Amino acid sequence: MNEKEQVAAAILKAMPDLDKSTVMDRLERPKDDKNGDYALPTFFLAKQLHQAPQKIAADLGSKIDQGSFDKVVVAGPYLNFFLKKGKVGAGVLETILNDPEHYGDATLGNGAHVTIDLSSPNIAKPMGMGHLRSTVIGNAIANILAKVGYEPIRINHLGDWGTQFGKLMAAYEMWGDEAAVKADPINTLQKYYVRINTEADTHPEYNDAGREWFKKLESGDKEATRLWKWFRRESLKRFMKIYKMLGVDFDSYNGEAFYNDKMDEILHLLEDKGLLKESRGADIVDLSAYNLNPALIRKSDGATLYITRDLAAALFRKRMYGFKQSLYVVGAEQTNHFAQLKAVLSEMGFTWSKQIHHIPFGLMSLNGKKMSTRKGNIVQLEDVLNDSIKLARQQIAEKNPDLANADEVAKQVGVGAVIFHDLKNERTNAIDFKLEDVVKFEGETGPYVQYARARAESILRKAGKPSFAGEDLTLDDAEAWPVIKQLGQFGETIQRAAENYDPSLIGKYALALAKLFNQYYAHVRILDDHPQKTARLALVQAVSDVLKSSLLLLGVKAPDEM
RNA sequence: GGGGCGGUAGCUCAGCUGGAUAGAGCAUUCGCCUUCUAAGCGAACGGUCGUGGGUUCGAAUCCCACCCGCCUCACCA
């Protein structure tokens, strides 16, 4: 029985005609600590009892068994419950220290597979800041789901197919310089890509050339395939460097090209069901029953489209992984696409279309405009990470010049700042990119959380890395209580984050815990002699453990010193 | 025009399953390092919660209308 249920039980004992679920629903956690740890507003009883809420609260307060609480206070129409701090606190600390890595675990998932489509950059282009979002949000969701008992499968659905590559090949055919590409593959290819897109405005035949090249690629033309393989290989090399910096691993790199030979089955299935209709020379699936515009499955030139490949991918993933849920961490601008995808799968008779969830996130813009590789209006992720690492290294040189592994810590802090900045706010918020915000290390940032933990670790080192087994961890100073309460809410925070696919809840949790700990640190001399010094150190250890867990869930490293 | 998301302090945001004086960070001003890392702590300043109605004992939160911004609506992904 958790604390809230204990409060509810005490209320029910004093007022037996209430039902438990009502009381659990009405019980709230006051924002202000002075109003207790739990509070029951009594307004909802006023009508049925024909009494003023103030009177109801007073009556209830006099009937309640106060023995199991520190105190129960009637505050006007509210009944405020104060828990026994020492006892509850010791319980929380024992639970954490007993098995820090698994504190907050849950078994909601029962080992069910969840595929997560994340990152999915386009090859032959530099990875921009826009791709950071899908990568770090998807990775954090995967971590969170694993924590509550699912088995996440991270899939990097590389954008390695489509008319865009036809265009790139057409550009390479016209202007390509093999030596230049070899020297700096990504940037050189991007130049060609930008050029052909720019010049296509005045040379519409370039678009046709692009379509032709893609057609050749789809039908297995030797030269087209050679170029494609080369572009893909070089791109992946570069991407891996970034993923290593970010600390993200994937279970699969099957991108769009992987489904090239799996498209026929989809087309046949659609035909067999009589879903495919001809319209303006192309093949579509009518989705007016879903209040959606038609899904274009096959272009008038016979080539397939994004959604055709996504249909094949969805079916493949279901067969391969037997997913219970299939998540797509893709920008909110593709909401319509995923609605269509689900609708077509549903039309095809796949009841598991309901297990598919688009996890949208807000657009990252630059100077208020949509980032676009074609227009060169893009910030490279790698540059931002390097800038941030450099700044972190400078900070270390200033603040902690003797730090042993300074370069490694600078990476953890610099990259941590970038990741945390992306995750701390609600997913769907749009972000206008500002470097100075991303690489900020003060206030509500990743480094703030890392720093709070590094100071905690520093204290523990100075205390000689104490062990707490069998110790009395009763801690009743008023300063410790807010920290302990926050520690106790880790599990429910994780579950909410999992249910809502919302990493920002973990970010906010970690910030709040770090802040509360910093306040504690500023007011209590932990290493001074004190009857509860051991319990205080246990609190420090628990904070460090939980901050570390929180950061790791977000994909942020937690250095012991910085 | 249809659909989606958003509008809270100068800026960036939290709060939105209705509850007790609307919170935080940044910025500005001012305190705190002979004491566990000042990437920190504290204080001050700062708000018609887009507008107008409605529901309710109670609305930033729920409902309706309107205004503004962004995204999206068949041969890109």
Per-residue pLDDT reduced to its tens digit, A182-238:
998 988 998 898 888 888 888 888 988 988 898 888 888 999 999 999 999 999 999
Beta strand extents in A458-556 (DSSP E only): none
CB contact set of A455 (below 8 Å; sequence gap of 6+) = A518, A521
| Residue A444 CA distance to nucleotide B47 C1' (Å) | 21
SS3 A104: coil
| Residue A283 CA distance to nucleotide B57 C1' (Å) | 60
Q: Which nucleotide is nearest to A459 (CA to C1')?
A: B36
The rounded distance, in Å, linking the Cα atoms of A149 and A109 is 4
Torsional sign, CA A398, A404, A405, A409: negative
**Cα angle value A385/A383/A393 (rounded, 5°):** 50
The structure tokens 């409060």 sit at A7
CA A55 to chain centre: 47
pTM of the model: 0.95
Q: Mean pLDDT across chain A, nearest whole number?
A: 93
Q: Which nucleotide is nearest to A409 (CA to C1')?
A: B39
DSSP for A209-274 reads: HHHHHHHHHHTT-HHHHHHHHHHHHHHHHHHHHHHHHHT---SB---GGGGGGGHHHHHHHHHHTT
Residue A276 has pLDDT above 80, yes or no: yes
SS3 A29: coil
pLDDT tens-digit readout, A389-411 = 999 999 999 999 999 999 999 99
The rounded distance, in Å, linking the Cα atoms of A562 and A550 is 18
CB A308 within 8 A of CB A297: yes
SS3 A51: coil
Question: CA separation (Å) from A546 to A297, A469, A550?
Answer: 48, 18, 6
Q: What is the number of other CB atoms lying within 10 angstroms of the CB of residue A230?
A: 17
Q: Which nucleotide is nearest to A163 (CA to C1')?
A: B76
The rounded distance, in Å, linking the Cα atoms of A548 and A525 is 23
**pLDDT classification of A1: cutoffs 50, 70, 90:** low
Take residue A120 and report the two structure tokens written for it.
């999915």
pLDDT tens-digit readout, A484-505 = 999 999 999 999 999 999 999 9
| Residue A99 CA distance to nucleotide B37 C1' (Å) | 27
Amino acid at A238: R
Q: Report which residue is nearest nucleotide B41 when distances run from CA to C1'.
A: A522
The residue among A59, A53, A72, A58 whose CA lies nearest residue A6 is: A72
DSSP for A387-420 reads: HHHHHHHHHHHHH-TT-TTHHHHHHHHHHHHHHH
| Residue A410 CA distance to nucleotide B13 C1' (Å) | 27
Chain B, protein-covered positions (CB within 7 A): 2-6, 12-15, 19-21, 23-27, 35-42, 57-58, 70-77
CB A276 within 8 A of CB A284: yes
- Which pLDDT score is estimated for A254? 95
Average pLDDT over residues A342-362: 96
Q: What is the number of other CB atoms lying within 10 angstroms of the CB of residue A499?
A: 12
Terminal Cα distance for chain A, rounded: 40
| Residue A140 CA distance to nucleotide B7 C1' (Å) | 28
